[in-house]
Amino acid sequence: MMQNLSPSSVSAPAATMTKAQRFLAACRRQPVDYTPVWLMRQAGRYMSEYRALREHYTILEIIKSPELACLVTLQPIQAFDLDAAIIFADILPPLQGMGLSLEFVKGEGPVIHDPLRTPASIEALQVRPPEETLSFTLDAIRLTRQALDPLDIPLIGFSGAPFTLAAYAVEGGGSRNHVLVKSLMMSDPASWALLMEKLSEVVGHYLLAQARAGAQVLQLFDSWVGQLSPEDYRRYVLPHSRRALEIAGEAGVPIIHFGTDTGTMLPLLRAAGGDVIGVDWRIPLDTAWAQLGPDVAIQGNLDPVSLFAPWPALQERTQFVLDEAQRAGRHGHIFNVGHGILPHTPVDNVRRLVDFVHSYTAAQKAGAA
Amino acid sequence: MMQNLSPSSVSAPAATMTKAQRFLAACRRQPVDYTPVWLMRQAGRYMSEYRALREHYTILEIIKSPELACLVTLQPIQAFDLDAAIIFADILPPLQGMGLSLEFVKGEGPVIHDPLRTPASIEALQVRPPEETLSFTLDAIRLTRQALDPLDIPLIGFSGAPFTLAAYAVEGGGSRNHVLVKSLMMSDPASWALLMEKLSEVVGHYLLAQARAGAQVLQLFDSWVGQLSPEDYRRYVLPHSRRALEIAGEAGVPIIHFGTDTGTMLPLLRAAGGDVIGVDWRIPLDTAWAQLGPDVAIQGNLDPVSLFAPWPALQERTQFVLDEAQRAGRHGHIFNVGHGILPHTPVDNVRRLVDFVHSYTAAQKAGAA
């Protein structure tokens, strides 16, 4: 299997760094030979290899089998010249570990069957060590590192952030307006604080355990935080994200702090923590980076719908992002989509995107672009 | 019926302006006795009077009956001390007038049964005068003005903006990621331009006709525009919103230009047009106003979920917005929620909110706050 990894690398520009060196250097805002690229949800439904496996296993079966999770983690690494792998998992199993009942319902997405609707249900939430509740993902990380190490490809571990987990736990699933979770936050500050304190402990220790199991980089996903006003984020979320990031930071590996729709609260996300801030396409990359300040790297920010466009349009859009990063005049850009790759994304466009990011930025950095 | 209007006005601070004077002065950035307030979707499901009517009529039956639309428009005016009425209508009937098949499906929301999926379907879209296709709303405006004029309460007419209408027309309904509409925009610029040109003509003339039928203020709703990057907005949407606003502007009445999730593109919305820019809660009101520049009024921006909180929390949140407006040190704030009032919103909180905006800003303007 190993010789099948990175089949596209023949077309890559001459590399002077391994993928792990490149990715970690970008996280630390050090010079790189070309811009590293990975894609949120790079393992998933848009790949036929993944869909074939899903005919036999549910999402939770894959996540809970270290061998299957490892296999799926490697699928996009085998197909594309990506600079990092991300462990195949989901943001919601930590809620299961706290005592909630999680199911992925076909066509509906994740459902929490016993959502938090009373102070007592929040008090009953358990804070247990990830080695007890999430050992399958820790084992998957150990196994995947064995496959990736010979190729010096780094592995990213991740967790949902306290607010995003609270949103699922209170709403019981996805939500358009997040009325229930925001109402709890606005109406019962004591229960809210207890919930967020428990979640920040669980999230922080889960991330820390992933790093100790072998993840060389961590990402905190605060997917729904852009539903909040900046003032609500500052008051009700920031301290808890900061706590989770402080615990995770004990591992000493770089941390990416990602949210969508955060264009009006970037300095607050920065204040919560992270070595890299992930942003979506709603804010120009250079504007975002200027707002974040000099001492942080940036990840993003192609609109994932761009991958449905014909190659010339996709190339132009990718170049636009890379030119913004170049214009910022700093080291420390990791190219990514601004939110996860969507189902039905054409695989060939993913391949061309990854290769183009490499060749274009190699030329940029050589002064030829 | 007339003597039942504005029952809350007994608790209002001493007014030195009629509601129409106050509202139009705010639109024009002139001094007011206190801050005018209305609420997007102020007529709707959260009111028992509306739900009672909906047991007998569908949404489209109400919209297409001038008498029923007038009745529903007046329901919140009778219940609360609001400073403006907004004609009861929906943003989607203009699509029906262009030849598409629209239905409001219970539990699903609006559905376009024949969404635009081919260039030919866009070429087939008809651009007809609103007097032919949307006369029911124009008649409802005429009727409602007769009821409101004795009370000097202004009436707002509105339309969906070209992008938001394109989103519904292409997706066929609501959408989480807007893959189809954005793919069309990115992949087929010629079809996109044709679609947006047709929509801007329809929207512009519909707004103009509403003003000529008696609407004293107009609002353009670009509810989904925040799904776009600022660059895509500038390139693919701004010229068409500007065109619609130019046509509507011939009426000479103030125009409110509203979008959600626009915190990173406010100068572009401003450039497209409007005397008042409506913003949601994701950006502090004073920050938004500073970005918009000196020559425009602002509308917003309470998170509508705040109305589910107990009164002390709702009051604090309302005061926060009003203090931001005061801090901006300008005339021209219209208080509103940042997006429509949600179903199940407690009616008593709506009443207290409206009265508090009046009394608090009257004191602010008297220099006592």
CB pairs under 8 A between A and B: 91
Out of B33, B81, B83, B90, pick the active-site residue: B90
Verify whether residue B242 is a known catalytic residue: no
Chain B residues with CB under 8 Å of a chain A CB are 177-179, 182-183, 186-187, 226, 228-232, 261, 263-265, 281-284, 287, 303-306, 308-310, 313, 317, 320, 342, 344
CA distance B21 to A308: 50
The total domain count for chain B is 1
- Flag whether pLDDT at A91 surpasses 80: yes
- Flag whether pLDDT at A369 surpasses 50: no
B35: Cα within 13 Å, side-chain hemisphere: 33
Confidence tier at A109 by pLDDT (50, 70, 90) = confident
CB B117 within 8 A of CB B170: yes
Verify whether residue B139 is a known catalytic residue: no
- Flag whether pLDDT at A106 surpasses 70: yes
User: What are B116-145's pLDDT values in tens digits?
Assistant: 999 999 999 999 999 999 999 999 999 999
Supply A122's token pair: 């929040």
Residues in A closer than 8 angstroms to B267, CB to CB, are none
Out of B34, B46, B168, B206, pick the active-site residue: B168
Angle, CA of B302, B307 and B309, to the nearest 5°: 115
ipTM for the predicted complex? 0.94
Order the strands of the A333-337 sheet from edge to edge. A85-86, A155-160, A217-222, A255-259, A276-278, A297-302, A333-337
Q: Are strands A102-105 and A109-112 parallel, antiparallel or unpaired?
A: antiparallel
CB contact under 8 A, A305 and B342: no
- Flag whether pLDDT at A1 surpasses 50: no
CB contact under 8 A, A264 and B281: no
CA distance A188 to A132: 31
pLDDT for residue B11: 54
pLDDT for residue B4: 43
CB contact under 8 A, B183 and A320: no
CB contact under 8 A, A178 and B305: yes
Nearest to B187 among A182, A183, A313 (CB): A313
Which residues of chain B, if any, have pLDDT below 50?
Answer: 1-10, 369
- Flag whether pLDDT at A290 surpasses 70: yes
Stated pTM of the model: 0.95
Packing angle between helix A311-328 and helix A347-365, nearest 10 degrees?
A: 40
CB B118 within 8 A of CB B105: no
Out of B22, B29, B41, B242, pick the active-site residue: B41
pLDDT for residue A10: 43
User: What are A228-272's pLDDT values in tens digits?
Assistant: 999 999 999 999 999 999 999 999 999 999 999 999 999 999 999
CA distance to partner chain B, nearest, from residue A320 (Å): 10
B324 φ/ψ angles, rounded to the nearest 5 degrees? -60, -40
CB contact under 8 A, B177 and A305: yes
For B228-265, the DSSP string reads S-HHHIIIIIHHHHHHHHHHHHTT-S-EEEEESS-TT-
CB contact under 8 A, A186 and B308: yes
CB contact under 8 A, A282 and B179: no
Chain A residues with CB under 8 Å of a chain B CB are 177-179, 182-183, 186-187, 226, 228-232, 261, 263-265, 281-284, 287, 303-306, 308-310, 313, 317, 320, 342, 344
Quickly tell me which residue has 């009778």 as its tokens.
Answer: B78
User: What CATH number corresponds to the domain at position B262?
Assistant: 3.20.20.210
Which structural domain, as residue segments, surrounds residue A353?
2-365
